[in-house]
């Protein structure tokens, strides 16, 4: 899983996770891997680009069902 995101005018950053489960686990910590209010610019799960618009918090909610 690869997420490109930005925060209010800052340059985009990218974080890579082993899989969706790792993303969920790291976001669920007291200090998450990526702040929930950051906007997602691009999302890849495996080699496939996923059409997604929203924040990191929205992304967490999408996969935490």
Give pLDDT, residue 9.
84
> What distance in Å separates the CA atoms of residue 45 and residue 15, rounded to the nearest whole number?
12
Give pLDDT, residue 46.
95
State whether residue 39 is helix, strand or coil.
strand
Domain ranges of the chain: 2-63
Give pLDDT, residue 30.
95
Q: In what order do the strands lie in the sheet with 39-45?
A: 13-16, 2-6, 39-45, 48-49
Give pLDDT, residue 63.
97
Instruction: Among 3.20.20.70, 3.30.1490.390, 3.90.1010.10, 1.20.1440.130, name the CATH number for the domain at 2-63.
Output: 3.30.1490.390
1-49 pLDDT tens trace: 999 999 988 999 999 999 999 999 999 999 999 999 999 999 999 999 9
């Amino acid at each position: 899983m690869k997420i490109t995101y930005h925060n209010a005018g800052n340059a985009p950053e990218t974080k890579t996770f082993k899989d969706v489960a790792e993303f969920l686990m790291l976001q669920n910590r007291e200090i998450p891997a990526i702040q929930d209010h950051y906007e997602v610019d691009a999302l890849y799960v495996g080699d496939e680009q996923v059409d997604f618009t929203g924040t990191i918090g929205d992304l967490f909610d999408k996969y935490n069902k």
